[in-house]
Chain A
C-alpha cells in the first residue's frame, strides 16, 4: 500500500488502475485482519487450555463472534459514522481498525519518544566498570553458596526425620513416643523455616543474575549506542520538522512551476524515509519483545498477535500519512477510504500520544527514584 502512495505522488500508473489497486489491497488487508488472524489467535489460545480439548472448533467460533461484537461496540463510541453508509460497509471496518491502530501507534510512539532519550541518557551517565561486574558476581556466588548450604541442611533434617519416624514405629507408643513426636514437630517447623529461607535466597539469586546479564550487555554495547543515537534521532526529528514546514508552506505560498516540481520529489523522499524509519523502529521493538516473552507453548499466539498489531499499524499509518501529505495527494486516499472523519483521527492520535507520553514520563520518574538506591550498590 505504501507503494501505492509512492505511485500516486510520482504519477506512474493510470488513475483508474491506481484506484483499483488501492481497493484491492485494502480489501485484502481488511479481510486478513478482521477474519483470519483473530480466528487463528482464538484457535491457538483455546488449544492451550488443557481442559476443553474436544470443543476446540466450537469455542473458537464463539470467541471469534465475541471478538467481532467488541469490535463493533468500540466503533459505536466514536464519531466515525456518517449517516450515508449502511451497517456492513467497508468504511465501518476501516473506521474501527483505524481507531484501534491509531491508539496503538500513539501509545507506542508516546512511550518510545520518552523512553529513548531516557535510556540513552542513562547509558551516557552510567559507565560500567569491570570492578562493578565482579562485585555483583561475587554477591551472586555468595547467595548461591547460602542456598546450597540451606538445601544441605534441609536434606539432612529430612533424612533425620525419616530415620526418627522409622525408629518411632519400631519402638511403639507410650510417653517416650509422645516426647519424641513433640521434638520432631519442632524440627518440622525448623525445616519449614529453612525452606522459606531457601526460596527467598533463590529469588534473590535470580535478580542478581538478571542484573549481571544487564551489566554485561551494557558494557558490550555502550559504544554502539553512542553511534546510533547520533544517527537516528536527528534524522527523524529533521524529517518531521521538514515535512511540517513544507506542508504549511504549500498551503498558502505562491507556486511557481519549479517549486511544484521539487515539492513532488521532496515529499516523496521524505515520506519514504519516514515510513522506513518507523517500520524499522517498530520491527526492532517487536523483535525484542518477542524474544523476551517467547516460550514453546505460546509462541504461535504471540506471532499471530504481532501480525495483527502490525497490520493495524500499517492501516492506521496510511491514515496518518494523509495528514502529512500536501492536499493534492490527499484526494485519492480520501476517495478510496471512504468518507471517514479524518480530523477526528488526527485529534485522537494527538490526545492519545500526549496521554501515553505523560504516563510514561510518570512511570520512568518513579522507576528512576528507585534506581539511585540500586546504583549505590555499584
Chain B
C-alpha cells in the first residue's frame, strides 16, 4: 500500500446538493442507501488507474474529501483545505442559488491563508489558479422539467475557471458507468489532477503548462466546450 501514491480532491458545495451521494457513487459505483448530513468531513478513497489502457498505466489513490456544507462550521472547515490537488464543485440543478454560491466556496478554499473579511468576488483570482477543477450539477432527474433552460444557462463558473462540467443524477449508477461520457470526463479530470501533482513538476517550464494552455483555448473561442450532457 505504501507503494501507491495518492492525490487529494475536495468536494465542496452548499448543504444538501448531494456531495456525499456523489462521492459514494464515484467510489462504489452504486447509489448511497440513506444519505445523512455530513458533519465535518467524510473521506472516500478510489483506486484510479492513471492513463488506463495505455502501457504507462499506473494505479493511484484518489482521496475524495467530502466537506460538509453547513455555514455554521465555516471557521473550522479550513483545516481540511490544505493541501489539495483538485476541486470538485457541486451544485444543485434545481437550485440556482447553489450555483452562485460556488464562487464563495472557491474563494473560501483559495483564500484560506488570508483573512475572510472581504467577500467581494474577483474573477481575476480564479484565472491564475492552477488547481484542476470540475463542476458537477446534481439532481438532474428533478430538473428534467426544464431541460432547455438548464442547458441555456450553462454555468458561468465553469467558463471562468475553464473547468469541465457534468450534469448527473446521483441516485442512478448508470450515469457514471464506465464508457459513458460522464465517466470519461471524470477520469480525465482525475488524470489531470495526478498529472498536475506528479508529472508537471518534472517539466522544465516554470508555470504549469496545463492552466496556460487552458486559458489560451478559452480565450480563442470556447472550443474546449462543455460537452453537454445527453
Task: Using CB atoms and an 8 Å cutoff, list the residues of chain A in contact with chain B.
Answer: 137, 140-141, 144, 147-148, 151-153, 155-156, 159, 202, 205-206, 208-210, 212-213, 216-217, 220, 291, 295-296
Q: Which residue of A lies closest to B38 (CB)?
A: A206
> Residue-by-residue, is B51-94 near A (CB-CB < 8 Å gives 1, otherwise 0)?
00000000001010000000011011001100000000000000
CB-based contact B43/A155 at 8 Å:
no
CB-based contact B72/A213 at 8 Å:
yes
> Residue-by-residue, is B1-35 near A (CB-CB < 8 Å gives 1, otherwise 0)?
10010100000000010000000000100000000
CB-based contact A216/B76 at 8 Å:
yes
Partner of B43, one of A144, A216, A291: A144
Total interface residues on B, using CB and 8 Å? 23
CB-based contact B40/A210 at 8 Å:
yes
Partner of B73, one of A140, A208, A213: A213
CB-based contact A159/B73 at 8 Å:
no
A-side contacts of B40, CB under 8 Å: 140, 205-206, 208-210
Task: Using CB atoms and an 8 Å cutoff, list the residues of chain B in contact with chain A.
Answer: 1, 4, 6, 16, 27, 37, 39-47, 61, 63, 72-73, 75-76, 79-80
Shortest distance from the beta carbon of A96 to any chain B beta carbon, whole Å: 37
CB-based contact A152/B1 at 8 Å:
yes
CB-based contact A137/B73 at 8 Å:
no
Give Cα A209–Cα B66 distance, bound, in whole angstroms.
14
Q: Could you list some 30 contacts between A and B, CB below 8 A?
A: A137-B79, A140-B40, A144-B41, A144-B80, A148-B43, A148-B45, A148-B63, A151-B43, A151-B44, A152-B61, A153-B1, A155-B27, A155-B46, A202-B42, A206-B39, A206-B40, A209-B40, A209-B41, A209-B73, A209-B76, A210-B39, A210-B40, A212-B76, A213-B72, A213-B73, A217-B75, A220-B75, A291-B72, A295-B37, A296-B16
Shortest distance from the beta carbon of B149 to any chain A beta carbon, whole Å: 22
Give Cα A155–Cα B27 distance, bound, in whole angstroms.
9
Give Cα A216–Cα B75 distance, bound, in whole angstroms.
7
Q: Which residue of A lies closest to B71 (CB)?
A: A291
Give Cα A153–Cα B63 distance, bound, in whole angstroms.
13
A-side contacts of B76, CB under 8 Å: 209, 212-213, 216
Partner of A209, one of B37, B39, B61: B39
B-side contacts of A156, CB under 8 Å: 1, 47
CB-based contact A152/B39 at 8 Å:
no
Give Cα A213–Cα B75 distance, bound, in whole angstroms.
7
Shortest distance from the beta carbon of A57 to any chain B beta carbon, whole Å: 25
Partner of B41, one of A159, A205, A295: A205
Give Cα A206–Cα B44 distance, bound, in whole angstroms.
15
Give Cα A212–Cα B72 distance, bound, in whole angstroms.
12
